[in-house]
Structure 1
Amino acid sequence: MNFREATRRDLPAVLALLADEDEVVDPGSVVVDEASERAFASIAADARNEVLVLTDGDAPDGVVIGCLQLTYIPGLGQGGRERALVEAVRVRADRRGEGLGAELMRLAVARAGERGCGLVQLTSNKRRTAAHRFYEQLGFARSHEGFKLSLTD
């Protein structure tokens, strides 16, 4: 296994993981549109954002089997330390149950700690009860109620 920052070459594989949580999507079938290109370029250019991948094999040729996005948020709370926001956590459907998600999260939390973050936070859709159990097993606590307001429909 290899854990690293995603490159543009990984974008189809990351989008394939995000496209369907329950099925394996062939990255070769993914059309990378202009909006995804812009979003990835913005993340890559921003020191407070990163897409991380877990690959089966060595970079850059390893198959992407997991991903997540980390965003570092400055704040006045937590003694002025940043907090890390974890988003878009995915492990390829045919590789679940191998402990890869836990390893991916462990590595992300360690990365946030090395950066000096005061906490790591995430949100999860209320319907994803298995994901909630997973995060709780990793030590995450249900400490807040989250609210979202969609600006697109």
Structure 2
Amino acid sequence: MMEIRFALRDDLSVLKDIFWTHINAYNEYISHGELQMGVAEADVSGGTLKTRPAGNGEEMWMKYINAKFDSPDAVIMVAEEDGFITGFCVAEITDDGADPFGVLCDLLVNGQYRGRGIGGELLQMALKWLKDRGISDVYLESGKNNVDAHEFFRRRGFVHVSDVFRLV
């Protein structure tokens, strides 16, 4: 039976494995967030941005995820089935000097468990966590070519807001 629970520090190595396996297999997951935090890097060739995991990306991701664990304005949730973590999500509350808003930072499900509703359950729990804190304005970022994720989020009420450009 699947359970959604708050992540523990003891879960970190499994979360890293899920993230790193996914980012290596699916470069389309990489968005500006991974580039900004040094988890991924990019080259421009013929006007096209080509992304890949950074050489020290695992170390940089561990810094990122540990900061989320340490933040009272962030949550990490895991989906667990029979003692095995099948996916996780990271959400946070932030502001830009105006009203606080929510950000869904990451949502990943281990490949062999996709299509079973785990991602939807993780998303709902993250949205509930935000709502319980008075947050209803929620954003997320997704890699430009991550069309499966785009469709997943559209089906759950998210709409495309903007594009992010990077000076090269």
What interval of TM-score do these two structures reach, taking the shorter chain for normalisation?
A: 0.7 to 0.9
Letter in 1 for 2:78: V
TM-score by length of 1: 0.76
TM-score by length of 2: 0.70
Work out whether residues 8 and 40 of structure 1, in 8 Å CA contact, stay in contact via their aligned partners in 2.
Answer: no
Alignment-derived partner of residue 108 in structure 1: 126
Alignment-derived partner of residue 8 in structure 1: 9
Can you list the C-alpha shifts for 1:107-151, whole angstroms capped at 9, x where unaligned?
Answer: 11111111111311101011111111111001100122234569x
Q: Does 1:72 find its partner at 2:75? A: no
Runs of 4+ in structure 1 off by over 3 angstroms are 33-41, 147-150
Displacement after TM superposition at 1:88 (Å): 2.1
Are residues 67 and 149 of structure 1, via their aligned partners in 2, closer, same or farther at CA, if it must alter by over 3 Å? farther
| Structure-1 separation of matches of 2:90 and 2:113 | 19
Work out whether residues 18 and 88 of structure 1, in 8 Å CA contact, stay in contact via their aligned partners in 2.
Answer: no
Tell which has more relative contact order, 1 or 2 (C-alpha 8 A, sep 6+).
2
Q: Structure 1: where are the runs of 5+ without partners?
A: 24-32
Are residues 108 and 149 of structure 1, via their aligned partners in 2, closer, same or farther at CA, if it must alter by over 3 Å? farther
Displacement after TM superposition at 1:46 (Å): 1.2
Secondary structure at the counterpart of residue 111 of structure 1? helix
| Structure-2 separation of matches of 1:126 and 1:34 | 24
Are residues 17 and 85 of structure 1, via their aligned partners in 2, closer, same or farther at CA, if it must alter by over 3 Å? same
Letter in 2 for 1:47: P
Displacement after TM superposition at 1:38 (Å): 4.4
| Structure-2 separation of matches of 1:131 and 1:90 | 10
Q: Does 1:51 find its partner at 2:76? A: yes
Aligned length, in residue pairs: 134
